[in-house]
Structure formats: C-alpha cells, structure tokens
Amino acid sequence: MFDITKLDNLMFFMLQPQNETDKAITNHLKWSTLWYGVLSNIMCGIFTYEDVPRQLKRRINNAFFSSSYVCAYNDKDLGIVVAPCSPVGSINNWGEYSAYDLILPDGKSKHLKLEDCVIGYNYDLPTISDSVLCYQFAEQIAELKVSIENAIILSRKTAIFEVPNENAFNEVLQEFNNHRTGNPIIVKKKREEESYKTMEFTQPTTVDDYYNGLRDVLNEFLTTTGLSSLVNPNKKERLITDEISSNDDIKNTLLSNRVDNRKAFIEGINEKFGTGYKVSVDDNIYKTVNNLVNVVESEVE
C-alpha cells in the first residue's frame, strides 16, 4: 500500500520538475535508468558460481560488467580479491601486458605485475564493456518511450490555432486555459474579422507503436550480446556451459566469448591460488531471455 507520509514519497512529489523542458529531461532519465537496470540484471545474471564466497561472486560480476579487463590477486588479509583493471607496461608476444592498475572498491588503486595476479577478459578482443552496452540500449528505449509520451500529449489536443495577431493569440490562450481548468462551456462573441486556422493531429496507435519499437530494440540487444541464441523454441531445457561453447549458433558471439573467458578466469584462479571455484551458465537465463521476448511479442499481438 502506498504510504504518502513516508519521507521518500513526499520528496518524490516535492522535487518534480515544473517546466516542460525539465519534465522531458526527467522522463528520459527515468526511463533510461529503469531499462538500464533491467538490461544490466540480464547481463549480470548469465553466470552462476559454486564454492565462491557471496561477496566475491558479486565482485566478479561487477568487475566483468564494468570493465574489459578483470584482475584477481591474493591478499594476505582479505583472501582472493577481484577488481576491474587497466593494462599498463610493456606487451609480450601473446598480447599480455606486463602490469595492471586495479580499481579497488574503496576507490584506491593498486599496481600489480602479471606474475602476481590472474587476468580475465570480457572478450577475446577488447570492446565496450557490458555496462556501456546496456546504457546504449536503455537510451534507445528511453527515446522511444518519450516519443510515445509526446505523441499521446499531441493527440489529446483537438486543435492548435494559428492566429493573425497577438490579441487573438491571448484570447485563444485564455480559452485554452479555461478549458484545462475544467470549464465545460466557453461562450465567445464571434469576430468575423479574425480568421482561425486549426492544425489537426491524428491520434497515434500508441500501444502498438511502443511495443513494436520496444521489440525491435530488445531483439537488437539480444542479437548483439548473443543471448538471442538461447531463445530456441525447439529446445526448452537449459543449455549448460559446455553446450553453449560448442553451439554453432552461439560461436563467435559476445556470449560465447563471455563463457570461454569467464571459465578461463576461474580456472586461472584455481590454478594459481589453489581454490576450487566453478562457474556455469545460470539455469534460469534461458527463461529470463525467453520471457522478455515473449512478453513484448504478446503485447503486440
């Protein structure tokens, strides 16, 4: 039940923008933030771990989500630490850098040599991080949502008047204000010397337009990430990690690279630090992706 007495709820109403420019900016930010969260949850939900401490599991997901390079090292007090990093130093014949600068959770930086850590990669070749990818598609959905909202607002206006002079403009504006404040009838003396021309708007099919556009953006997101390969109507059970790596439809996609590189990272940690960590594709990722597409398509139908 919505409790209007709570401070957070009151602040929401008090801080709402008053002019149309700020409202448009706020709406765009609202929808982009909402969908950034939805897409980010999908990207961070691809993998599941075994025998990995809960906090370390969260750090692995966050590091891979925000950075193309991820580093793991053994701290004498904290144990295994995972953090995003940037390559520095010289590069060898295998494309490995001699050192890496880490960005730790407390904001401090740490410099490590390659032999003292394990490096993980988001992709075989560095590209934009998952966080940037989710942001780009969230922005597209926000633009779509704001455009539909603007179309709805325009369709509610029965007419826009083109008037010959400022006096006529003020009269029409007053009539419009009276209409918005609830006056059901406006009586006005006819002035034949003034001509009023109206600009009519056709009401858009807002629901269809929105869901068609949303479906296109989400399908592009799933194709770009490789997750669309999981939506296979002929295969309802989940794909385990090895099946994904060997699936011809998934090979050479960002998803395949994520699986292979995440497995290599965990295996590297086990080999270097003597741990027994395991990583696999989450059982529910197929359902998550499939349900997302099905919901949008069912709304359009």
Residue 161 confidence (pLDDT): 60
* CA angle (182, 203, 187) in 5-degree steps: 30
pLDDT digits (tens, 9 = 90+) for 235-250: 545 555 555 555 555 5
Residue 2 confidence (pLDDT): 47
Lowest average pLDDT, out of 9-23, 206-220, 228-242, goes to 228-242
Residue 296 confidence (pLDDT): 59
Residue 122 confidence (pLDDT): 82
Average pLDDT of the chain, as a whole number: 77
Cα–Cα dist 287/159, whole Å: 47
Could you tell me the two tokens for 20?
Answer: 């149309």
**Does residue 283 or residue 299 have the better pLDDT?**
283
pLDDT digits (tens, 9 = 90+) for 86-101: 999 898 888 789 999 9
Q: What mean pLDDT do residues 96-120 have? A: 90
**Letter for the amino acid at 1?**
M
292 in Cβ contact with 42 (< 8 Å): yes
Could you tell me the two tokens for 37?
Answer: 């969260």
pLDDT digits (tens, 9 = 90+) for 225-278: 888 776 654 454 555 555 555 555 555 567 778 888 899 999 999 999 999 999
**Does residue 157 or residue 290 have the better pLDDT?**
290
Lowest average pLDDT, out of 99-108, 160-169, 257-266, goes to 160-169
Is the backbone of residue 79 left (phi > 0), alpha (psi -120 to 50) or beta?
Answer: left
